[in-house]
Structure 1
Amino acid sequence: MLSGAAIFNIKRLVGRVDTDPVVHASKSLPFLVQTLNIGVRPFIAALVKNMWRSTSPEEVLAIFLIELRAMSEAHLKRPVRNIVLTIPVSFSRFQITRIERACAMAGLQVLRLMPEPTAVALLYAQQQQQNVHENMGSGSEKIALIFNMGAGFCDVAVTATAGGVSQIKALAGNALGGEDILLNTMHHLLPDMDSHFSTRGIEEIRKMGLLRVATQDAIHKLSSQSDVQIDVDLGNGRKICKVLRREEFEEVNREIFMKCETLIKQCLRDAKVDEEDVNDVILVGGCSNIPKLRNIITTVCKREPYTRINPLEAAVRGAALEGAVASGVNDPFGSLDLLTIQVAPLSIGIRADGNSFIPIIHQNTTMPVRRDVIFTTVHDNQAEALIVVYEGNEKTVEDNHLLGYFKITGIPPAPKGVPEINICLDIDASNVLRVFAGVIMPGGQNPRVSSYGG
């Protein structure tokens, strides 16, 4: 069970550059996040026997996976080589490649890769299929909204399930999670926290760890209590002795909760599903027991949360099901006759008209998918064109993720706007992206084609 919180949310730092706001928000973690060069991936440094040792987030994740693999092999009493990987919806393809690299460093091959709410949807589909078998019925389509919030990410999915087939209608996600709720609450308890822990010696890291543990414990207790007493000794005569009320906690994190509500409504709109059409609401992840979040989702969908799924195990159980399906495991009761139809979590397109992002495959397009778009030149007698591919949902390329680029050459001399350049984006069932571009030659000649894949 890969838990970001178990290793201080290291998964959140994987595949990000030092200018990323998520990296700058990680300065209260109990290790240093080094951001020395603009545009370069950060590395982390921790105190080990009073010496600073540096490594990359991917290497830390690989060490964690090695330990997880060893535990699995000891339990199964056989080697483990393949892994089904669940990722947050908002992960870019570059982040996915860094996660895959960490898996390779741990000696694991990625068998399947799926967004976390998609894994939950597969588990839900199995349960609905079992219900049909038990009740000897044909089973009608059920619409479910899946809300997944863990330490570092918030994901929402709308799925239509019938007969073991789960059609993902829409996905939405962002890099908000329990870590942000924790940091907001820590700053509320200790307003000058940043200056108080400005020096990162071993004693300061220990004190910050004490505050983190006490704050996290208080948040957990507020799920079942209206208030909680917090007592933390920070040394040098400084102590925190405070009663934190649930209403106070909710006000401190009001902006985060509002963003979660916006994400839910956005996903329902993208899926073209009305709130009253939702049959089940599934809450999963470490933050699923926060009363305010449960209240928001219940209010929006007018449904009580679905209770047949363990919120802390849903994603890994769904991933295990996907591994069984992919490995061809047979089940005499037919409960592994399952299929999940996925969608593109982010739009993919190219740069055009300066710095504008032109989507070719739009977010929530069913995969596999292939799209062709015709572009043209912007200068007279332009002989070549640079095709730059981005992923994201923002209007400008600076706010999206750069995937790669290649150059088209040999464009016949012509006034601007006359040559036709065909750009084709193709995503296969394994979520592998391939990009082809070619100049459509006059007179029916074969086009000149270049390609990029990854």
Structure 2
Amino acid sequence: MAGEMSMIGSVILALLLAGYLGQQYLPPPKPKVIGLDLGTTFCSVGVFHPGSGEVEVVADAEGRKSIPSAVTFTAAAVLAGHEALELGDINPHNTVYDAKRFIGKKFEAGVLEEESSRYPFKVINNNGSAEFVISTNHTFTVSPEFIGSRLLLKMKKMAERQLGVLIQKAVISVPAEFDERQRNYTVRAANLAGLEILRVINEPTAAAMAYGLHKVDVFNVLVVDLGGGTLDVSLLNKQGGMFLTRAMAGNNKLGGQDFSQRLLQYTTQLVLKEFGVPPTLKQDIHRLRQAVEAAKLNLTLHPSAMIRVPLNLHGSSQSPEGTAPVLFQTQVTRQLFEELNEDLFLKVLAPVKTVLVEGHLEKEDVDEIVLVGGSTRIPRIRRLISEFFGKDPNTSVDPDLAVVTGVAIQAGIMGGSWPLQVSAIEIPNRHLRKTNFS
């Protein structure tokens, strides 16, 4: 009997040793669960690599790690991401963006009409749900979850091309304030893209995981998520590996698009002053908008940026009765950009103050301030937050990729990847309501 027990012990030891050596020397398995961030203005997909424990945010064929959340319809194809954005100005009525604002929402009469008035594409009310009207060689409607599915399908294919394996399972993030219906419709969008969703995780929790806060001793975490179109502020309370969302506030009509629009209005006035007419041709407006967006990004790193755009102005002083090619150029400074947007920047602090009041905390009680979203790179935004709290926010993770990084970590956990991470458990708070300042 003792000999048998000794033999069993030897076999177990040999298996453990083989497993250890396998982890050390054999190539790790390919990840088969992806993490998806279906954002309002940009989307990303990430994977957790077994063995190394590293997160890879998957890039497209051109090396870009996020794709615009836009889908365009032509008579020949449905295009998503950058290809859709390129056609946005010449095919505006059939290019749908911001679909996340509509997914799973029930709208009362009149509310949807007001919400949709800011878009060039047509939105209709179908028994309280939004649908988008598309007219190519025929007219039809599509749902917000269908738009989401095209973006998720594109990211699924990006991951499959990078990993060389078929992907059928994923973890996806949603805003913390999404109700059960909005979460279900987001899952439905993934199902339409051929994906099984293993878990839905809140965006602020995912961001906290990206910063490693699920593994360290912190208690109160403030997440400021300022993207292209929305501002969301969440106060998380962490105990062990569990996160409770204590308070939420935000502004669903404040983001990088608004800051760019101020700069676009300024440059449009300069064109009018210099050439006697504003840009009216779709191609001119598209070029000017792209140049302004590039300048805004440059001003994050540099004190000034050049805007240089060839325009074909209609009815300018150089060609009163037709179009004339001109070169518009101007230099803009960070100081000017901040002055143009100062009132908008100050609006960021309103929901920050609200979540502290509703969470019954003083600003000194916040252990970590986490920044999410590309617009939190703007130096003035960071200064405002630093001055308000009297300490610098945590900027160790790329704010554009914080959510997708956290979702990818959770995807790795769900896929059983090693080295195993500490999983974050979210405590549902169904009585919590988001305060909106829009």
What TM-score do the two structures reach when normalised by structure 2? 0.64
Q: Which position in structure 2 is the counterpart of 1:62?
A: 149
* Aligned counterparts of 2:356 and 2:134: Cα–Cα separation in 1: 41
* Aligned counterparts of 1:273 and 1:25: Cα–Cα separation in 2: 37
1:206-251 deviation digits (Å, cap 9, x = unpaired): 3332122111111111112222221223312465433322233223
1:293: how far off?
A: 0.9
Q: 1:288 aligns with which of 376, 387, 404?
A: 376
Partner SS state of residue 405, structure 2: helix
Report the AA paired with residue 182 of structure 1: S
Q: Which position in structure 1 is the counterpart of 2:330?
A: 242
* Aligned counterparts of 2:101 and 2:240: Cα–Cα separation in 1: 39
1:122-176 deviation digits (Å, cap 9, x = unpaired): 334x4562x6xxxxxxxx4432221111122212122233543333332223312
Residue 25 (1) aligns with residue 129 (2): no
Residue 216 (1) aligns with residue 293 (2): yes
Identity score, percent: 25
Q: Specify whether residues 166 and 14 from structure 1 end up closer, same or farther in structure 2 by C-alpha distance, changes over 3 A only.
A: same
Q: Which position in structure 2 is the counterpart of 1:7?
A: 69
Q: Specify whether residues 95 and 250 from structure 1 end up closer, same or farther in structure 2 by C-alpha distance, changes over 3 A only.
A: farther
* Aligned counterparts of 1:272 and 1:218: Cα–Cα separation in 2: 40
Q: Which position in structure 2 is the counterpart of 1:43?
A: 132
Report the AA paired with residue 278 of structure 1: V
Q: Specify whether residues 37 and 268 from structure 1 end up closer, same or farther in structure 2 by C-alpha distance, changes over 3 A only.
A: closer
Partner SS state of residue 249, structure 2: strand
Q: Which position in structure 2 is the counterpart of 1:312?
A: 400
* Aligned counterparts of 2:208 and 2:213: Cα–Cα separation in 1: 10
Q: 1:72 aligns with which of 151, 156, 159?
A: 159
Q: 2:187 aligns with which of 100, 104, 128?
A: 100
Partner SS state of residue 237, structure 2: strand
Q: Which position in structure 1 is the counterpart of 2:175?
A: 88
Q: Which position in structure 1 is the counterpart of 2:7?
A: none
1:25: how far off?
A: 2.8
* Aligned counterparts of 2:132 and 2:329: Cα–Cα separation in 1: 35
Q: Which position in structure 2 is the counterpart of 1:206?
A: 283
Ranked by relative contact order (alpha carbons within 8 Å, sequence separation 6 or more), the top structure is 2
* Aligned counterparts of 2:380 and 2:234: Cα–Cα separation in 1: 19
1:292: how far off?
A: 1.3
The more displaced of 249-258 and 286-295 is 249-258
Residue 181 (1) aligns with residue 259 (2): yes
Contact 2:345–2:381 (8 Å) recurs in 1: yes
* Aligned counterparts of 2:189 and 2:407: Cα–Cα separation in 1: 18
Q: 2:233 aligns with which of 156, 160, 170?
A: 156
Contact 1:159–1:169 (8 Å) recurs in 2: yes
Q: Specify whether residues 159 and 94 from structure 1 end up closer, same or farther in structure 2 by C-alpha distance, changes over 3 A only.
A: closer
Report the AA paired with residue 43 of structure 1: F
Contact 2:311–2:327 (8 Å) recurs in 1: yes
RMSD across aligned C-alpha pairs, in angstroms? Answer: 3.5
State how 1:403-418 maps to structure 2 within 5 Å: none
Residue 227 (1) aligns with residue 227 (2): no
User: How many matched pairs?
Assistant: 326
* Aligned counterparts of 2:186 and 2:113: Cα–Cα separation in 1: 18
1:269-317 deviation digits (Å, cap 9, x = unpaired): 2222211122222112111210111011111111112133232221012
Partner SS state of residue 288, structure 2: helix
Q: Specify whether residues 46 and 300 from structure 1 end up closer, same or farther in structure 2 by C-alpha distance, changes over 3 A only.
A: farther
1:365-411 deviation digits (Å, cap 9, x = unpaired): xxxxxxxxxxxxxxxxxxxxxxxxxxx768xxxx9xxxxxxxxxxxx
* Aligned counterparts of 2:428 and 2:278: Cα–Cα separation in 1: 47
* Aligned counterparts of 2:348 and 2:264: Cα–Cα separation in 1: 20
Q: 2:347 aligns with which of 254, 259, 265?
A: 259
Q: Specify whether residues 111 and 257 from structure 1 end up closer, same or farther in structure 2 by C-alpha distance, changes over 3 A only.
A: same
1:106: how far off?
A: 0.9
Structure 1 gaps, min length 5: 28-32, 132-139, 199-203, 345-360, 364-391, 400-454
1:37: how far off?
A: 6.6
1:66: how far off?
A: 1.2
* Aligned counterparts of 1:190 and 1:178: Cα–Cα separation in 2: 18
1:103: how far off?
A: 1.6
Q: 1:118 aligns with which of 205, 211, 233?
A: 205
Partner SS state of residue 374, structure 2: coil
Report the AA paired with residue 7 of structure 1: S
Report the AA paired with residue 193 of structure 2: A
Residue 301 (1) aligns with residue 389 (2): yes
Contact 2:112–2:125 (8 Å) recurs in 1: no
Q: 2:429 aligns with which of 325, 339, 343?
A: 343
Partner SS state of residue 412, structure 2: helix
1:252: how far off?
A: 2.5
Contact 1:88–1:153 (8 Å) recurs in 2: no
Report the AA paired with residue 241 of structure 2: G
Q: Specify whether residues 37 and 279 from structure 1 end up closer, same or farther in structure 2 by C-alpha distance, changes over 3 A only.
A: closer
Contact 2:38–2:148 (8 Å) recurs in 1: no
What TM-score do the two structures reach when normalised by structure 1? 0.62
Q: Which position in structure 2 is the counterpart of 1:368?
A: none
Residue 279 (1) aligns with residue 335 (2): no
Partner SS state of residue 230, structure 1: strand
